[in-house]
């Protein structure tokens, strides 16, 4: 009974850490990127300052906005919060991990995306509709690739639960699995597309012709914008944690002692920082692609995920 309580407290603490650290991860990414591009870098705390400023600012809402427009930031943020709660960041086998498996996780993303697209169209501006249509085009192509990669993992671990999958990888130790290699590449490409990073979308600009995600949330201000930006940072962190913790789960806490948890936090921080450095290098060497080439990019991601599935069936199950 007591153990159960500790586990729930830990789960709550892990979720709070996840949500609280997401802006820090975004700040770290921006800082590394600035250094990489020889620009003066803002402090890593800058995203917190931006969020605090936005929370203090007045809301400006268009006259013809419906309840949908006002509800969307809260829906999006709660979907990301629940998704973050379901992902093992520091410790596996937490009670919140049993709430949702990877398929529900993809569902949370779809829910958030659906409401963002509706809100983009709700105001009736040209940019909102354009952004919504682009976002849905990309999502329709990214989701099958994501699910295929996720199925590859779940077939290997014989479970769609993330904690169970990480536990399986930890139990079997270092095994070279070609299917994981392809699934990793597939998920990384999907993550880049879904979080609006460089070859697909540029998170830092508001250029009419190219923006995708920013076009939908252009009308938001004040605390609504703060919630949406925060949700975006959480989403980036979710994808980063998915990639590092599924493919390199070593260091994650398996029992709830102080040393194991401390090691878990340190390992998670180190892995995430390294993953973001890789993302930044990728973003620095690549140029943003034309929007009509994005389907090719995501088609390649799908083929990679499919290849992961095929190599799992052909090479890894044995005759």
Partner 1 sequence: MTSLAQLSLFEQAIIVFAALALFSSFVMLAQTRVLPLIYAFAWQGVLLALVTALVAYVSGHPHLYISAALTLALKVFLIPWLLHRLAMQLRIHLEAERIVHPSLLLLAGGGLVIFSYYIALPIVQRSGLATRNTIAVSIAIVLIGMLVMIARKKAVAQVVGFMSIENGLFFAAVVSTYGMPLIVELGVAFDVLVAAILFGVFFFHMRESFDTLDVDQLTRLSEAREPEAPHEASGAAPAGPAR
| Site membership for partner 1, residue 311 (CB under 8 A) | yes
CB of 183 to partner 1, least distance (A): 12
Q: Could you tell me the smallest distance in angstroms from the CB atom of residue 171 to partner 1? A: 9
Q: For residues 208 and 296, which CB has a smaller minimum distance to partner 1 in the complex?
A: 296
In the bound state with partner 1, the residue whose beta carbon lies nearer, of 242 and 306, is: 306
Inter-residue contact 55 to 69 (CB < 8 Å): no
Please state the length of the chain.
319
Q: Pick one of 182, 220, 239, 247: the residue that binds partner 1 (CB under 8 A).
A: 182
Task: Output the smallest distance, CB 296 to partner 1, in A.
Answer: 6
Cα gap 173→97, rounded to integer Å: 22
Longest dimension (CA), the chain: 66
Q: Cα separation of 252 and 3, whole Å?
A: 19
Looking up tokens 């992961």 gives 308
Helix, strand, or coil here: 217? coil
Helix (H) or strand (E) holding 301: helix 294-311
Among residue numbers 5 through 44, which ones bind partner 1 (CB under 8 A)? none
CB 148 within 8 A of CB 102: no
Residue 303 interacts with partner 1 (CB under 8 A)? Answer: yes
**Residue 308 Cβ vs partner 1, minimum distance, rounded to whole Å:** 9
> From the list 30, 33, 113, 177, which residue makes contact with partner 1 (rule: CB under 8 A)?
177
Could you tell me if 160 and 154 are in contact, meaning their C-beta atoms sit under 8 angstroms apart?
Answer: yes
Considering only residues 181, 277, 282, 291, which one is a binding residue for partner 1 as defined by CB under 8 A? Answer: 181
- Residue with the two structure tokens 């060497």: 285
- Sorted by sequence, the CB contacts under 8 Å of residue 161 that are 6+ apart come out as 97, 98, 101, 102
**Binding-site size, partner 1 (CB under 8 A):** 26
Cα dihedral sign, 138-97-273-52:
positive
What CA–CA distance (Å, rounded) separates 117 from 140? 13
Task: Rule CB under 8 A: say whether 172 interacts with partner 1.
Answer: yes
Q: Is 286 in the site for partner 1 (CB under 8 A)?
A: no
Using DSSP's 3-state secondary structure scheme, residue 207 falls into coil
Nearer to partner 1, 56 or 293 (CB): 293
Q: Which residue is it, tokens 């709430």?
A: 99
Name which of 181 and 277 has its Cβ closer to partner 1: 181
CB of 188 vs partner 1, minimal distance in Å: 15
Q: Which CB atom, from 22 or from 309, has the smaller least distance to partner 1? A: 309
Q: Binding segment for partner 1 among 25-33, 132-140, 167-175, 243-251 (CB under 8 A)?
A: 167-175
287 counts as binding partner 1 under rule CB under 8 A:
no
From the list 131-139, 177-185, 222-230, 264-272, the region that binds partner 1 by CB under 8 A is 177-185
Binding residues vs partner 1 (CB under 8 A): 172-173, 175-179, 181-182, 295-296, 299-300, 302-303, 306-307, 310-311, 313-319
């Amino acid at each position: 009974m007591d153990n159960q309580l500790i586990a729930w407290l830990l789960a709550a603490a892990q979720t709070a850490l996840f949500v609280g650290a997401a802006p820090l991860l975004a700040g770290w990414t921006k800082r590394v990127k600035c250094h990489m591009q020889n620009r003066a870098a803002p402090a890593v705390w800058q995203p917190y300052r931006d969020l605090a400023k936005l929370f203090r600012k007045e809301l400006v809402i268009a006259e013809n906005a419906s309840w949908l427009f006002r509800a969307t930031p809260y829906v999006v943020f709660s979907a990301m919060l629940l998704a973050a709660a379901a992902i093992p960041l520091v410790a596996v086998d937490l009670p919140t991990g049993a709430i949702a498996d990877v398929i529900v996780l993809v569902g949370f993303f779809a829910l958030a995306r659906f409401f963002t697209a509706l809100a983009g169209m709700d105001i009736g501006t040209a940019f909102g509709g354009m952004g919504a249509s682009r976002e849905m085009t990309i999502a329709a192509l990214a989701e099958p690739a994501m699910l295929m990669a996720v199925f590859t993992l779940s077939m290997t671990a014989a479970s769609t639960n993330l904690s169970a999958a990480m536990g399986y990888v930890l139990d079997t130790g270092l095994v070279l699995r070609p299917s994981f290699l392809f699934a990793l590449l597939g998920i990384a490409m999907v993550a880049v597309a879904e979080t609006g990073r460089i070859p697909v979308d540029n998170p830092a600009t508001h250029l009419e012709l190219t923006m995708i995600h920013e076009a939908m949330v252009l009308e938001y201000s004040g605390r609504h914008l703060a919630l949406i930006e925060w949700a975006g940072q959480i989403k980036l962190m979710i994808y980063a944690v998915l990639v590092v913790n599924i493919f390199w789960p070593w260091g994650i806490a398996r029992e709830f002692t102080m040393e194991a948890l401390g090691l878990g936090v340190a390992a998670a921080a180190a892995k995430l920082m390294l993953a973001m450095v890789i993302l930044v290098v990728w973003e620095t060497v690549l140029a943003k692609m034309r929007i009509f080439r994005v389907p090719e990019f995501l088609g390649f991601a799908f083929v990679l995920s499919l290849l992961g599935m095929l190599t799992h069936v052909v090479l890894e199950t044995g005759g």
